[in-house]
Structure 1
Amino acid sequence: MRDIASLVFSAGLLFLLLVIGAELALGHPDMRVGAEYLRVAGPELGAANIVTAILAGYRGFDTLGELSILFAAATAASLVLGHRRADARRDPPGGLVLSAGADLLFPLLLVVGIFIVVHGHLTPGGGFQGGVILAAAFFVALLANPARTLNHALLGWIEGLAGAAFILIGLWALVEDGHFLTPLLPLGTMGELVSAGTLPLLSVAIGLKVGAELAGLLAHLADTEAPDR
């Protein structure tokens, strides 16, 4: 009976996919929402990067939800990974090659991460991508030398202040315009660093929050010592 049920389910699924495929006009996608974003995002928000305009402008409230989910996931993982065994030992340093490579990569990753966060409204990337690169910069240093530690209290302050800044900008927009996270401030000239209103501020807040959360989580991973066998 189980085989028959699986066969019936597979046949029904195949029939459904065939019906859906027959209704699609192949080669002529009906991109109504995307086409509207492409048409109005530049003039309305002044951002050259349409993806950032959508995430921090039109879908700003949804982005706040994503940040909340990331915070909950990082907090839960930190609670699980934050305890060490009594018989655990710390891994030795990674050696000359790994240490030298980490020392070389750290400033490069730091500069690239900051650049992507700050230029999120101009070039591909933004707060999420830049924040991950910033977290990776510190994690590479921890991998090369496990004796190093990150200040979790400082990371917590950065993460909290960045999240509060994101919400305060949204509340400011709610008071001024009547809509939460509506972009404010003059748009400026598209393509310049100081442009797109409050979108760069939101991108920086996202980058700091994501970077601090992931750096703290990765630091917990590095601090979790393996048992001595």
Structure 2
Amino acid sequence: MIKRLLILVAIALFGLMVWPLVATIAPFSELTPLAARYAEGGTSDLGAANLVTAVVVTYRGLDTLGEVTVLFAATAGVGVLLRRGARSKDELSGATDSEESISDGRQAGHSPFSEILSTGSAALFPLVLMFGAYIFIHGHLTPGGGFQGGVVIASGFALLLAANSGRRLSHGVLLAVESLSGAFYVGLGLLGLVLAAGFLDTTFLPLGRLGQVFSAGAIPIIYSFVGLKVGSELTNILESLRK
């Protein structure tokens, strides 16, 4: 009873604290100067039909680079914690014959799941990858981008792992894709610094024709590398959790 009373008091105090903010909210009748600059320059200066992409990749590109770095740090942290936990478990219990036989069966590709699930996942997997690639390649034209496309790609690998518990993904390949994508991302940013007006300035490549795939300077290339990096990082987390 006392616990519930304390919860209700806490909710009431939180409501009193937030109410002045909610009561004074008013819709904007016009764009702020910064937002107006983004809305006007996203198309004319960068050639991007999707203004959200223009902001994320170029105007606040350093923030996006920081987000990718945070995701990389989270992936590395998950890997370290899971390896440490697995090592401690092996030291305490040791490997038994039954565990070795299960591991051998998984390495051989045996799966306890149905044939329908395995066949369906094999058929859907390339379609999911194509859809993810489509999302980040067309991120400058339609809603979507590198983060969304990378998540879709990771969901395809999650489907494979769910359909076949014995399937193993190459940690080395995932790490190579992740590292190279991040390196090329930073490299494109440096090209903007050398060949254009600043770091992650995408206008060092031709803007092309608005609405075409090959347009918006280097934005489609940058978003492709972001998508590959996000997809490989999330897939690496899934593989670590599966182990």
TM-score scaled by length of structure 2: 0.80
Percent identical: 41
SS at match of 2:202: coil
State how 1:127-206 maps to structure 2 within 5 Å: 127-184=146-203, 185-206=205-226
2:229 is the counterpart of 1:209: yes
Q: How far did 1:74 drift?
A: 0.6
Q: Is 1:99 matched with 2:100?
A: no
Change (3 A) 1:99 1:22: closer
The answer to whether 1:58 aligns with 2:59 is yes
Amino acid at match of 1:128: F
Partner Cα separation in structure 1 for residue 22 and residue 129 of structure 2:
46
Cα offset, 1:38, TM superposition: 2.2
Judging changes above 3 Å, is the alpha-carbon distance between structure 1 residues 145 and 8 closer, same or farther for their aligned structure 2 residues? Answer: closer
Distance in 1 separating the partners of 2:158 and 2:18: 44
Distance 2:17 2:167 in 1: 56
Farther off after superposition, 179-188 or 199-208 = 179-188
Partner residue, 1:68 = 69
* Superposition CA RMSD, Å: 2.5
Alignment of 1:40-51 (within 5 A): 40-51=41-52
From the superposition, tell whether residues 100 and 190 of structure 1 become closer, same or farther in structure 2 (CA, over 3 Å): same
Shift in CA distance, 81/9, structure 1 to aligned 2, threshold 3 Å: closer
Paired position in structure 2 for 1:227:
none
After superposition, give the CA deviation of every residue in 1:156-209 in whole Å (9 maximum; x if it has no partner): 111111000010111111122342111121111111010000101110110111
After TM superposition, give the deviation of residue 73 of structure 1 in Å.
0.2
Distance in 2, Cα, partners of 1:219 & 1:113: 19
Tell me how far 1:101 sits from its aligned partner. 2.0
Between the aligned partners of 2:16 and 2:23, the Cα distance in structure 1 is 11
- Structure 1 alignment gaps of length 5 or more: 225-229
Instruction: Letter of the 1:193 partner, please give it.
Output: V
Kindly indicate which of the two structures has a greater share of residues assigned to helix. Answer: 2
Query: Measured at CA, do residues 182 and 98 of structure 1 come closer, stay the same or move farther in structure 2, by a change above 3 Å?
Result: same
Greater Cα shift, 208-217 or 178-187: 178-187
TM-score normalised per structure 1: 0.85
- Correspondence for 1:116 among 129, 135, 139: 135
Structure 2: 5+ residue runs without aligned partners? none
- Separation in 1, partners of 2:25, 2:150: 39
In structure 2, the CA distance between the partners of 1:77 and 1:8, relative to structure 1 (3 Å rule), is closer
1:21–1:114 distance in 2 versus 1, CA, 3 Å: closer
What amino acid sits opposite 2:136 in the alignment?
V
Q: Residue 136 of structure 1: CA displacement?
A: 1.3
Q: What letter is aligned with 1:220?
A: S
- C-alpha change, 1:8 and 1:216, in structure 2 (3 Å) is closer
